[in-house]
Amino acid sequence: MLGIPEWSKKTALIIYEPDCTQHVQVIRELTRLLQSQCNFKVLSEMTRHEQIRHSKTDFVLDSVKQADVVLIVVSENLRAAWQARQQGDNRSTRVPSVGELLLQSVRNAVVLRSKSVQRVAVRFDYTPAMTDVDSELAVVSKVYELMRDINQLLLTLRGVKKSTQLLTLTCCLKILAQDSGNVVDTSKLTESVAAARQHYQQQVPVTDATADLMPRHDTSKEITPLDTAQHRDIDVHVDGLPSNPTSGYASALASDLHSAGGQCWD
């Protein structure tokens, strides 16, 4: 089956703030999944290193302008930076990262209603459960959890609403007739999330407060079927993903940031 032309694909912008090297690997595998299963053209710090080196301002403005969907990965560092700003901690001279600038730009677009864009947020199952904070940060009503909600996440990104689908005989026969091409292999993403989980738990001592954050079951090597939306046969190609990506280029010229609009948070 022929792939979808690049010009006709929807664009997904991934906003994240890496907590560790393992977290970056999660973003890499998530990018591959969005490209192969949702047919998205993906924009992120990981796929646009050269543009960011040239101008962070242009990257932030262009990315938000081009995005049809914004996927916000609520990491510990992104949450901490947002909370610090909300609490009025403006004493820090730290240069905001690209992830922070992207998040603020998206939040401004929502407040000003300058663009209608689908926003989706995800979080890890092993970090502190702060769903209210996460949803407020990302300006969404629901935050999906990796890996528990991966099916719902993919269906949402593909524009499928399960509540509006009618389970007819024709639909059932169609599902039964489909081959294994309708099975989504999430094993690599599952493995990368497991590695990030292990790293996180090694950094945080296990106490009564954190015991409930341990994984409930082992989902490594899991292959998850999508019960809706037809799978397309597309070559998996991640645009310009480096083997060892870095985060945000926070040490870039401050003048480039000031031109983005001054304050980076509400």
Amino acid at site 34 = L
C-alpha 36/C-alpha 41 separation (Å) is 10
Cβ neighbours of 109 (radius 10 Å): 19
The pLDDT tens digits of the residues spanning 45-69 come to: 999 989 999 999 999 999 999 999 9
Q: Is residue 236 part of a domain?
A: no
Q: Is residue 57 part of a domain?
A: yes
C-alpha 205/C-alpha 186 separation (Å) is 29
Poorest-confidence range of 98-112, 157-171, 183-197, 248-262? 248-262
Half-sphere exposure of 96 (CA within 13 A, CB side): 30
**According to the model, what pLDDT value does residue 3 have?**
54
The pLDDT tens digits of the residues spanning 88-140 come to: 755 566 788 999 999 999 998 888 877 778 999 999 988 888 888 899 999 99
What is the residue range of 133's domain? 7-227+246-258
Q: Is residue 239 part of a domain?
A: no
Q: Is residue 78 part of a domain?
A: yes
Domain count for the chain, please give it.
1
Q: Is residue 240 part of a domain?
A: no
CATH code, domain with 209: 3.40.50.11530
Q: Report the Cα–Cα distance between both ends of the chain, in Å, rounded.
A: 47
Q: Is residue 1 part of a domain?
A: no
Cβ neighbours of 168 (radius 10 Å): 9
Q: Is residue 11 part of a domain?
A: yes
Give yes or no for residue 176 having a pLDDT over 70.
no
Beta bridge pairs of residue 121: 72, 143
